[in-house]
């Protein structure tokens, strides 16, 4: 192929030889030219045929399905060939035009690249297919997100629990140290006093100091027993044999144990026994300790003169025991956690009320072991009511 400019052509009549401005040379087999000319001829011939004679809907269906499967699209489709925006007979049976789910492309272009035919393919289940493709990724994302949330929540919960345990442990150690420090100091002072030559000959004073030593030793022993009792309960080593007992007699026995403490505080205990059926299957020693612990708490948490009321009543096959006081009361949070081991509600000074948070934990374990229920109703500044429900012996 040679390309000449106008200036070159003007020189044809002159003496100068004709030289092309651009010269393009290509070599190849003549078959290529034959094929090209056949393609041009075929397109011209085919363009005059009706569309249904050029392609059948079965052939077109197979071709579209094959292409879609190769592209990973395995869903129902419908198709139609349009001629200048008018539908032809080459279409699937359920084809309906849907703007959002229909795609079109020109087909059967002529030798100049123009086409009067459009192939329209629609996907009736497009949204379902897209969702099914995304569902596995979505499920995995949700699972991983849940795992992360659970792991984070668990770690945060463990961190909070560890912090609470640390605070409880420090509280317990401080209280236990304080509880032992006072009796030890008292015992040492009593011993030093007895050694004094002026006192050792005074029998009454010696006996008083010896009684003081005995009382303080008994006090420390009781604290140790309290800790060991809880430990044995948790290991299920505490032997709890149960017998038929009158609950009113158990309550009266418990009152006798705390009478001295109440008299020392100039307090009062009122009993209102309305329960008619009072026979329960309990361990008298442990259940006496339960009532004693609740009464001691009522005294300890009454900043003024303790005013305690004990009531009993029958509801169905249960006997209800209520121990009311007019003490400090407790918050809603404390009411939920008051029966936890070592838990004590902070009231400003850590030692303003002696104890280790073991008494009510012991109460809970013993009552549960007797198939009963124990809970507390309280209002800050207005006192508390401990309620015990026990099954009666029919």
Structural domain spans, the chain: 2-125, 129-234, 244-391
Nearest-5° Cα angle at 131, 129 to 132: 65
**pLDDT tens, position by position, 324-383:** 998 888 888 888 878 876 666 655 443 444 454 567 887 888 898 889 999 999 888 888
Average pLDDT, the chain: 79
pTM listed for this prediction: 0.46
Beta pairing partners, 313? 320
Q: What is the CATH architecture assignment of 129-234? A: Orthogonal Bundle (1.10)
Q: How many CB atoms lie within 10 A of CB 195?
A: 9
Query: For the ranges 62-66, 78-82, 174-178, which has the lowest average pLDDT?
Result: 174-178
Does position 225 have pLDDT exceeding 60, yes or no? yes
Give the per-residue pLDDT at 350. Answer: 39
Kindly calculate the radius of gyration of the chain based on its CA atoms and give it in whole angstroms: 49
Of 257 and 385, more confident: 385
Give the per-residue pLDDT at 349. Answer: 42
Does position 271 have pLDDT exceeding 60, yes or no? yes
Does position 280 have pLDDT exceeding 90, yes or no? yes
Are 110 and 43 in contact by the 8 Å Cβ rule? The answer is yes
| Segment 102-127 mean pLDDT | 77
Does position 128 have pLDDT exceeding 60, yes or no? yes
For strands 268-273 and 307-315, give the pairing. Answer: parallel
DSSP for 195-256, written as a single string: HSHHHHT-HHHHHHHHHHHHHHHHHHHHHHHHHHHHHHHHTT-S----EEEEHHHHHHHHHH
Q: How many CB atoms lie within 10 A of CB 358?
A: 22
How far, in Å, are 71, 75, 77, 125, 138 from residue 131 at the CA level?
17, 12, 16, 10, 9
CATH for 244-391, options being 3.30.565.10, 3.30.2270.10, 3.30.67.10, 3.20.20.60:
3.30.565.10
Q: What is the DSSP letter of 23?
A: E
Question: Model confidence at 392, in pLDDT bands (50, 70, 90)?
Answer: very high
């Amino acid at each position: 192929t040679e390309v000449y400019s106008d200036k070159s052509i003007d020189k044809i009549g002159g003496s100068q030889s004709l030289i092309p401005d651009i010269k393009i040379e290509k070599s190849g087999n003549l078959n290529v030219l034959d094929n090209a000319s056949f393609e041009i001829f075929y397109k011209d011939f085919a363009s005059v045929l009706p569309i249904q004679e050029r392609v059948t809907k079965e052939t077109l269906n197979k071709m579209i399905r094959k292409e879609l499967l190769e592209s990973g699209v395995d869903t129902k489709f419908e198709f139609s060939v349009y001629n200048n925006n008018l539908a032809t007979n080459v279409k699937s049976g359920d084809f309906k035009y849907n703007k959002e789910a229909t795609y079109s492309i020109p087909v059967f272009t002529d030798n100049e690249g123009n086409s009067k035919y459009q192939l329209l393919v629609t996907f009736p289940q497009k949204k379902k297919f897209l969702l099914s493709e995304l569902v596995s990724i979505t499920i995995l994302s949700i699972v991983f997100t849940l795992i992360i949330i659970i792991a984070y929540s668990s770690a945060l919960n463990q961190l909070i629990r560890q912090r609470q345990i640390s605070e409880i442990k420090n509280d317990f150690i401080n209280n236990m140290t304080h509880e032992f420090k006072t009796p030890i100091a008292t015992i040492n002072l009593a011993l030093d006093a007895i050694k004094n030559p002026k006192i050792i000959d005074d029998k009454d004073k010696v006996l008083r100091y010896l009684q003081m030593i005995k009382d303080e030793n008994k006090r420390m022993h009781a604290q140790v027993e309290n800790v060991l009792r809880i430990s044995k309960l948790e290991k299920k080593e505490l032997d709890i044999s149960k017998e038929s007992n009158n609950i009113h007699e158990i309550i009266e026995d418990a009152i006798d144990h705390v009478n001295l403490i109440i008299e020392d505080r100039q307090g009062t205990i009122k009993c209102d026994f309305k329960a008619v059926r009072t026979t329960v299957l309990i361990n008298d020693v442990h259940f006496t300790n339960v009532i004693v612990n609740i009464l001691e708490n009522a005294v300890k948490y009454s900043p003024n003169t303790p005013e305690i009321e004990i009531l009993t009543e029958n509801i169905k096959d249960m006997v209800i025991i209520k121990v009311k006081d007019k003490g400090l009361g407790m918050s809603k949070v404390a009411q939920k956690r008051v029966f936890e081991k070592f838990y004590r509600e902070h009231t400003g000074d850590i030692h303003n009320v002696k104890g280790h948070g073991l008494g009510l934990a012991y109460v809970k374990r013993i009552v549960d072991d007797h198939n009963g229920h124990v809970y507390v109703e309280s209002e800050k500044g207005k006192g508390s009511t401990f309620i015990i429900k026990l099954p009666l012996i029919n």
